[in-house]
Amino acid sequence: MDEISLIAKFIDDQGFIRIHTLGGFDPTTLSTQRVVVHGNEDLTGVIGTKPIHAQSPEERKKAPKTESFFVDVGLPAEEVKKLVPIGSPITRERSLKKMGNYVTGKSLDNRVSVYMLVETIRQLKKSNCDFYAVFTVQEEVGIRGARVATNKLQPDIGITLDVTLSNDIPGVEARDRCTRIGEGIGIKIMDGSAICTATLVAFAEEIAQKNQISYQRELLTAGGTDTSAIQYLTGQGAHVTGLSIPLRYMHSTVETVSVTDIDNGIKLLTKMVQHLNEYQLKTHS
């Protein structure tokens, strides 16, 4: 539901807003971005840092750090301090665009999964189990929303929706690639926080094969998802897997996904929910 963003932590005597991150950022993606500062009113701003022309040779060799960036809203310090309370959220400004067979924009991680779940609800004709569609917040800062929802619902089965690395790009060897964009929805085998239930993974694959839905097995060796909250973090225990949309350029303002991968994800999730009681019968017989 939410997005990785920034928060105002200090305003200096020149009116520049010092920032802290909400979620994981590669600092190199912050430079020269346009943002919206959500203070007492929304203000357009730009992210700045010390220009390369003013950097020493030693500074140029160093990777940028988050604390070296600031936001400029083009107003005097006195006015900025009136309009921007400390703690005001700051989001990056970038619109969604169609790009060939893909769509590209900011915060597709993880709003594309919100879209996928909404479309599944629209298309779902029936369910032979108790089905809860949950839209969570604060996954990027400790899977907090998923923990609360799981503790409340105490599910037997959990299917998480998220993006995953589509690092099928120049400079990455084939052996190190997690998924390939455009080759189908990812069925999660594991990520850095959870190892999925083998029987539920097999059930998802069986459904995909029966319905000619393109998929790929997703094994993400680093990074976590809401899957762990459902599987074990609340102490309940559940069978889990995830449907993962391959995404390029993660946590940037040009995150990119394939329209066909999204469509395959919607189809597979819809079919899984429609037939989930068959899995329950199998595993409890």
Catalytic option among 139, 140, 218, 255: 139
Q: Cα separation of 222 and 216, whole Å?
A: 18
Token output for 2: 């939410």
Q: Is 249 exposed, middle or buried (0-12, 13-18, 19+ CB in 10 A)?
A: middle
Taking CA atoms, 247 is separated from 115, 140, 185, in Å, by: 15, 16, 11
Query: Which residues are CB-neighbours of 166 under 8 A, at least 6 positions away?
Result: 178, 179, 180, 181, 246, 247, 248, 256, 257
What element of type H or E holds 70? strand 70-72
Residue tagged 């069978």 (tokens): 239
Are 51 and 70 contacting, i.e. CB atoms less than 8 angstroms apart? no
139 is catalytic: yes
Query: Which residues are CB-neighbours of 132 under 8 A, at least 6 positions away?
Result: 153, 155
Q: What angle do CA 215, 202, 205 make, to 5 degrees?
A: 25
Amino acid identity of 140? E
Token output for 145: 């929303």
Q: Cα separation of 203 and 188, whole Å?
A: 12
**Which residues are identified as catalytic?**
139
